[in-house]
Amino acid sequence: MNSAKVVKHISECFIKPKYEIEESKQRFNLAPMDLPMLSFHYIQKGLLFTKPSHAKDEEFSTQEFVESLKQSLSLTLVHFFPLAGQFATNVDEERHESLVFVDCKKGPGVRFIHASLDMSISYILSPTDVPLVVQSFFDHHKAVNHDGHTRPLLSVQITELIDGIFIGCSASHAVIDGTSYWHFWNAWSEIHQANSEELSVLQPPVYERWFPEGHGPTIKLPFTNSDEFITRYEAPELRERIFHFSAESIARLKGQANEESNTQKISSFQALSALCWRSIARANRLPLEQVTNCMLVANNRHRLNPSLPQEYFGNCASAMRTSSTVSELQNNNLGWAALLVHQLVANHSHKAVLDHINSWIASPYVYQPAMFGPNSIMMGSSPRFNMYGNEFRLGKPVAVRSGYANKFVGKVTSYPGYEGGGSVDLEICLSPDSMNLLESDPEFMRAVSLPYMP
């Protein structure tokens, strides 16, 4: 019955920074870790809130709340002004190259959508799988980052439910990574909570662009037409499910992995990643001789020397990869796989980052979604991001959910657990048959905890 219900758009507008951007800030160049992302989807993450209950004689007004969000967003964009811009490209036909950058003056601003859905929170949280209707809580459905030439680089959709509010943000992944994305969320919430245009808790974003020594301030791509490097990715049929791991379960996994590998170096997340790698390889019924990969997205800010501040705005992340045959992965224990993951992380040094970036600059290319095959898992996002601290005067969110973007077989997205304390939620995408097998995998399900219900 509820699957037939559709989100209705009530209104939309464009939000610009409250104050005019200085002339010196009207152009934002893309750096070496931004440009490869042009063919990927936007980042789509959102927060689900319980609608405030009636206070005495005053009823909660969604319209007033939406207007207050618009005002605080306009103030937040003073600090995060590139998100209100638009991509522009200067093409040099003779040299067969293009320069892509953000024109912070040209852009229409941030698209702001107010929508509604005749559905309660329970229909979002109760099903085993994340319902498809959640994808309609986000704008920029199936858009790739390069579409930021004609679409806003950031779009916000506020969807009113019967008893809840969902705030969904779609942001160009060629402009920001997960660290910058959640920095924006945290700043917006802080400004909204304080009803102030200044940031008092968080530091503002840092816009100085990072290039290896001897390069910059711009990088040109060896293309003149977007058809040369942009592909449109369609996700296969997937089941998408949230699995909860309590702090106690995570601690047991970490202890087991370290004991089995005779070390104390393996972290909680490395042990959890190894568990996913082993379990998903089994669920995908990969041949024993098949090479399988475990990939993790690493924040490079603190790995560079000198390091970059956490407030560095843009992409400063890369995908690390370790490999094994399925036979090795299954014939050895969890600790063996976790030690491989640990060594991968330990070796991801300043030199490793710099070597990769210098190699890319020597021969620039754009990442394609096809690089993530069904023989691998990709651990994305981070349980360290402050997602549940974004309250917007609504109280603590009850859940984090994502849209259609960048999902494929073996994609694992990490969120902090609602109760905190080191708990983790994993959003796992698999084919229906593989998900059925994962749900009956003894090693995996022993570690899964009952969902924490707020």
Q: What are the tens digits of pLDDT across the range 333-380?
A: 999 999 999 999 999 999 999 999 999 999 999 999 877 878 999 999
Q: What percent of the chain has pLDDT over 70?
A: 98
Query: Using CA atoms, how far apart are residues 427 and 198, in angstroms rounded to an integer?
Result: 34
Domain termination residue (choose one: 170, 199, 228): 228
Domain termination residue (choose one: 170, 195, 228): 228
CB 35 within 8 A of CB 366: yes
State the average pLDDT over residues 126-144: 96
User: Domain residues for 322?
Assistant: 239-385+402-447
In this structure, are 160 and 29 located in the same domain?
Answer: yes
DSSP string, 131-186: PGGGGGGSSSTT-BGGGGGTS-SEEEEEEE-SSEEEEEEEE-TTT--HHHHHHHHH
CB 106 within 8 A of CB 85: yes
Q: What are the tens digits of pLDDT across the range 399-411?
A: 999 999 999 999 9
In this structure, are 173 and 254 located in the same domain?
Answer: no
- Between helices 247-260 and 268-283, what is the axis angle to 10°? 90
In this structure, are 70 and 131 located in the same domain?
Answer: yes
74 falls within a domain: yes
CATH of the domain at 260: 3.30.559.10
State the average pLDDT over residues 257-285: 98
Predicted pLDDT of residue 57: 44
113 falls within a domain: yes
Instruction: Quickly tell me which residue has 């996002």 as its tokens.
Output: 381
Q: Which two tokens stand for residue 46?
A: 């959102």
Query: Using CA atoms, how far apart are residues 132 and 243, in angstroms rounded to an integer?
Result: 17
DSSP string, 307-362: PPPTTB-S--EEEEEEEEEHHHHHHS-HHHHHHHHHHHHHT--HHHHHHHHHHHHH
Query: Using CA atoms, how far apart are residues 271 and 251, in angstroms rounded to an integer?
Result: 9
Predicted pLDDT of residue 156: 98
In this structure, are 42 and 150 located in the same domain?
Answer: yes
How much is the CA Rg of the chain, to the nearest whole Å?
Answer: 22
Residue 233, Cα to own-chain centre: how many angstroms?
A: 17
The 10 Å Cβ neighbour count of residue 14 is 13
Q: What percent of the chain has pLDDT over 90?
A: 90
394 falls within a domain: no
In this structure, are 195 and 331 located in the same domain?
Answer: no
Predicted pLDDT of residue 54: 54
> What counts of helices (H) and strands (E) characterise the chain?
10, 15
CB 431 within 8 A of CB 254: no
Q: What are the tens digits of pLDDT across the range 70-96?
A: 999 999 999 999 999 999 999 999 999
In angstroms, the Cα distances linking 430 to 57, 186, 204, 371 are 48, 31, 38, 17
Query: Using CA atoms, how far apart are residues 11 and 359, in angstroms rounded to an integer?
Result: 47
184: pLDDT strictly greater than 90:
yes
Q: Which residues of 21-85 form beta strands (DSSP E)?
A: 27-29, 43-50
In this structure, are 55 and 118 located in the same domain?
Answer: yes
271 falls within a domain: yes
80 falls within a domain: yes
Kindly report the three-state secondary structure assignment for every residue of 101-145: EEECCCCCCEEEEEEECCCCCHHHHCCCECCHHHHHHCCCCCCEH
Query: Using CA atoms, how far apart are residues 383 and 297, in angstroms rounded to an integer?
Result: 12
Q: What are the tens digits of pLDDT across the range 6-57?
A: 999 999 999 999 999 888 889 999 999 999 999 999 999 999 999 987 544 4
Total domain count, the chain: 2
Q: How many CA atoms does the CB half-sphere of 317 hold within 13 Å?
A: 24
In this structure, are 188 and 224 located in the same domain?
Answer: yes
288 falls within a domain: yes
18 falls within a domain: yes
Query: Using CA atoms, how far apart are residues 257 and 255, in angstroms rounded to an integer?
Result: 6
Domain termination residue (choose one: 228, 250, 266): 228
In this structure, are 166 and 283 located in the same domain?
Answer: no
Q: Which two tokens stand for residue 267?
A: 């972290």
In this structure, are 211 and 294 located in the same domain?
Answer: no
